[in-house]
Amino acid sequence: MEPMFTPALHRQRHQFVIDFVKRKKPKKVLDLGCCECVLLKQLKFHREIELLVGLDIDGVQVKKKMHGLAPISTDYLQPSYDQLRIELYQGSVTEKDARLRGFDLVTSIELIEHLTLADVELFSEVVFGYLTPEAVIVSTPNSDFNPFLPGLVGFRHIDHKFEWTRTEFKSWAMKVCLQYGYEVELTGVGQAPPGQQERVGFCSQIGVFHRLGGKERYNMFDEDAEDVFSYTLLYSIIYPSLHDNNILRRVLMCEVVYWADKLKRRWTAEETGERDDTDDLCQAEGEGGECFRASERHVDTEEAQTACGAEMKTLVDQEEEDGELFWRRGQPDSDKWRRCVSVPLAVLWCCCPKVSVLSGSVSNLRLLLMDEPGVKLSQDGSAMLLNHQEQDLDDDESDDDEHRADLEDSGYADARQCPPLAEPEEDWEANV
């Protein structure tokens, strides 16, 4: 049998919510009767949402799929600046809980018909009178449409306590608006057959409520609100974000190490006349490539300034005073020679757009690197010092500690240390 709706009706209901979220960009969203978290799993990709909460009376249903809300590997590998916390609670919409107050959007998709009419009254009081969200989306079956559902006898689901006509839904919605200070727009999803829309309306009727009086109204209710906590927290997760200083440092360090090594190879290859394998990659870096080439020529000050901005000048000048990007050092008690590569921070900042975005400025970059135990900076803090190739060293001396010790011996030990930066019978609900 051909599906009656394309996309399926439950998808259309969820898409209705998603379209609303795209338009209104709510930061705090609560899904009542979240069941197996299907809608929440879609909403978590809308990163303007900072707090996403689900509530259902059936904790077993919630627990079945809740781990699908956890961050995936890319959320850790490429954290964004956006912040997201997800919480799931077990509890009834007929009971109050202060943790769910003050949301921008509350959704109740195919929930109210599972409540007795007495509980619908409590639902109204809790949602509109206590939680007082700025917007509420309520969807429920439109019984005017039922004659079009093939094979349907009685209600669309065995657990439904009622199914309202459009008139009954409108009457409830208007009462809620008058009682709790909201306005409502009545619409729906699931188009009727051609020529019947006007007569029977949508398969799922939807009311979109907006609180009158804006944010002040919430504050007014706030004073008198009871601090009740009746729900049980089942799940809570905070997504990795670059707002977390530790995560920011980790991501920045990966970029810095990658780019510093690339520059080192490039310069080394240039000196030895060998082809550098990373060359092609470098050329593909767009603006960064410009800076890269500038640094190749021991940094053409004017060119670098144009590309990187005024802040670079001082540092570039200092580097030029040092004269060499490669330098040698002999140990007094050894006949071995060490070669180190000095990578100016200004060049690093300029070459890698991500480094510049994450650090904000060359001086911030310096401060961040000064606090990294694995990083060695030049005495004036303007450059990162990397040991040259392991081939210059005996095998047993090629580990990082040796490298660091070498650099310390070389008179760069007193590079300044700075404090860290502040800073789912026939299920019409699911299948049509």
Contact 36, 424 (CB under 8 A): yes
Residues 6+ apart with CB under 8 A from 274: none
- Which stretches of 33-125 are assigned E, i.e. beta strand? 51-56, 85-90, 105-109
Q: Choose between 111 and 358: whose C-beta lies nearer to ligand SAH.
A: 111
Q: How far is the CB of 109 from ligand SAH (least distance, A)?
A: 4
Q: Choose between 163 and 255: whose C-beta lies nearer to ligand SAH.
A: 163
Q: How far is the CB of 112 from ligand SAH (least distance, A)?
A: 9
Which SS3 state, helix, strand or coil, does residue 125 take? Answer: helix
Determine if 10 is a binding residue for ligand SAH (CB under 6 A). Answer: yes
Q: Choose between 17 and 294: whose C-beta lies nearer to ligand SAH.
A: 17
Supply 48's token pair.
Answer: 């303007």
- Which stretches of 175-239 are assigned E, i.e. beta strand? 182-189, 204-211, 232-238
Rounded (10°) angle between helices 301-308 and 287-296: 160
Which segment (22-30, 88-96, 168-176, 269-277) binds ligand SAH by CB under 6 A? 88-96
Q: Choose between 110 and 319: whose C-beta lies nearer to ligand SAH.
A: 110
Determine if 190 is a binding residue for ligand SAH (CB under 6 A). Answer: no
Binding mask of the shown chain, residues 22 to 61, with x at each position contacting ligand SAH by CB under 6 A: -----------x-x--xx---------------xxxx--x
Q: Choose between 38 and 307: whose C-beta lies nearer to ligand SAH.
A: 38
The number of residues that bind ligand SAH (CB under 6 A) is 18
Q: How far is the CB of 263 from ligand SAH (least distance, A)?
A: 53
Q: How far apart are CA 297 and CA 318, in angstroms?
A: 15
Q: How far apart are CA 66 and CA 51, in angstroms?
A: 16
Q: Choose between 105 and 308: whose C-beta lies nearer to ligand SAH.
A: 105
Q: Choose between 124 and 387: whose C-beta lies nearer to ligand SAH.
A: 124
Q: How far is the CB of 88 from ligand SAH (least distance, A)?
A: 12
Determine if 388 is a binding residue for ligand SAH (CB under 6 A). Answer: no
Instruction: Give the residue among 212, 238, 259 at the shortest CA–CA distance from 84.
Output: 238
Contact 202, 187 (CB under 8 A): yes
Pick from 28, 44, 101, 114: which binds ligand SAH (CB under 6 A)?
114
Q: How far is the CB of 200 from ligand SAH (least distance, A)?
A: 22
Which SS3 state, helix, strand or coil, does residue 268 take? Answer: helix
Contact 198, 138 (CB under 8 A): no
What letter does residue 285 receive in the DSSP assignment?
Answer: T
Please report, as residue ranges, which positions from 92 to 111 form the binding site for ligand SAH (by CB under 6 A). Answer: 92-94, 109-111
Q: Choose between 93 and 383: whose C-beta lies nearer to ligand SAH.
A: 93
Only one residue has tokens 């789912």, namely 424
Instruction: Give the residue among 321, 419, 295 at the shortest CA–CA distance from 379.
Output: 321
The radius of gyration of the chain from alpha carbons, rounded to an integer in Å, stands at 31
List of residues contacting ligand SAH (CB under 6 A): 10, 33, 35, 38-39, 55-58, 61, 92-94, 109-111, 114-115
